């Protein structure tokens, strides 16, 4: 899905990255999973770009399926940005907060076995409310899925890039209360805060973009959870 300000690059509607047009050059939001750099290069080539032409990559959170090619992008000279609370986790200064429950512990152990425990250098910090690269895209704190998860909201167009706080994978709009989310109470609060912005469209990290109306039942369920 494309607007005047951004384009979705998607792998089978399940892993999304977004390409934002800015006065300083194109900016990527998230960087897909490990092993997907070739796919990303090909996707960028289809819109007339190379990785070196990117002005930056903003990661919504440190999970491996969102930062999987960020190191490769850094090697191409692309600066990496994250919300301030996420920066020390990405740089290996603060431990990974893990995933929820026993299944989450198993998943994290398997992830480390396969991919190691990557740590970045030179991550640039974003502040809550900061507008990105001379645009109307504003950084929104959305903790819960990770401590420093962010969303991006464009007040002019009403588009919300929700990261993994709100998703629609396999065609099902939902708040991401899976075992990948260690702090479900905070995620419920963050999801409600994002919907309170009343975006026209929600563009998730996983799944198809959907209008806010598609999340009406999700909102009811979250309000019920938050009032318990």
Q: What is the C-alpha separation between 70 and 120, in angstroms, rounded?
A: 9
- Kindly list the domain boundaries of the chain, sorted by start residue: 6-226
Predicted pLDDT at 21 = 95
If you average pLDDT over every residue of the chain, what do you get?
94
Cβ count near 124 (within 10 Å): 11
pLDDT > 70: percent of the chain: 98
pLDDT tens digit sequence for 67-101:
999 999 999 999 999 999 999 999 999 988 888 78
Q: Tell whether the model's pLDDT for residue 4 goes beyond 60.
A: no
Beta bridge partners of residue 114, listed in sequence order: none
Q: Which residue from 222, 207, 195 is spatially nearest to 169, judged by alpha carbons?
A: 207
Question: 154 versus 5: which is more confidently predicted?
Answer: 154
pLDDT tens digit sequence for 130-151:
999 999 999 999 999 999 999 9
Contacts with 7 (C-beta within 8 Å, 6 or more apart), sequence order: 1, 18, 19, 47
How confident is residue 1, by pLDDT bands cut at 50, 70 and 90?
Answer: very low
Residue whose pair of structure tokens reads 């990557």 in the numeric block: 118
Q: What is the DSSP string of 186-211?
A: HHHHHHHHHHHT--SEEEESSB--EE
Predicted pLDDT at 113 = 87
Q: Where are the alpha helices (DSSP H) in 47-139?
A: 64-67, 70-75, 87-90, 101-115
Q: What is the C-alpha separation between 105 and 108, in angstroms, rounded?
A: 5
pLDDT tens digit sequence for 99-115:
878 888 888 888 888 88
Q: Which helix (H) or strand (E) holds 57?
A: strand 56-58
Please, are residues 163 and 149 in contact by the beta-carbon 8 Å criterion?
yes
Predicted pLDDT at 225 = 87
pLDDT tens digit sequence for 27-73:
999 999 999 999 999 999 999 999 999 999 999 999 999 999 999 99
Q: Which residue from 42, 25, 40 is spatially nearest to 72, judged by alpha carbons?
A: 40
pLDDT > 90: percent of the chain: 83
**CATH topology for the 6-226 domain:** Metallo-beta-lactamase; Chain A (3.60.15)
What CA–CA distances, in Å, run from 125 to 130, 195, 219? 10, 25, 31
């Amino acid at each position: 899905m494309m607007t005047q300000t951004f384009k979705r690059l998607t792998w089978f509607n399940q892993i999304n990255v977004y390409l934002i047009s800015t006065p300083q050059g194109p900016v990527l939001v998230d960087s897909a999973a490990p092993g997907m750099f070739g796919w990303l290069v090909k996707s960028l080539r289809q819109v007339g770009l190379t990785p070196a032409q990117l002005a930056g990559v903003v990661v919504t959170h440190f999970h491996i399926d969102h930062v999987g090619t960020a190191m490769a992008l850094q090697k191409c000279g692309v600066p990496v940005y994250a919300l301030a609370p996420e920066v020390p986790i990405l740089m290996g200064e603060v431990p990974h907060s893990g995933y929820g429950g026993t299944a989450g512990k198993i998943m994290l152990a398997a992830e480390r076995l396969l991919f190691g425990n990557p740590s970045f250098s030179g991550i640039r910090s974003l502040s809550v409310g900061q507008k990105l690269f001379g645009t109307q895209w504003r950084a929104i704190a959305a903790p819960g899925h990770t401590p420093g998860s962010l969303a991006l909201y464009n007040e002019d167009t009403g588009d919300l890039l929700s990261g993994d706080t709100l998703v629609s994978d396999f065609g099902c709009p939902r708040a991401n209360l899976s075992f990948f989310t260690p702090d479900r109470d905070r995620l419920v609060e963050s999801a409600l805060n994002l919907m309170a912005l009343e975006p026209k469209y929600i563009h998730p990290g996983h799944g198809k973009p959907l209008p806010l109306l598609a999340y009406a039942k999700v909102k009811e369920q979250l309000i019920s959870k938050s009032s318990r």
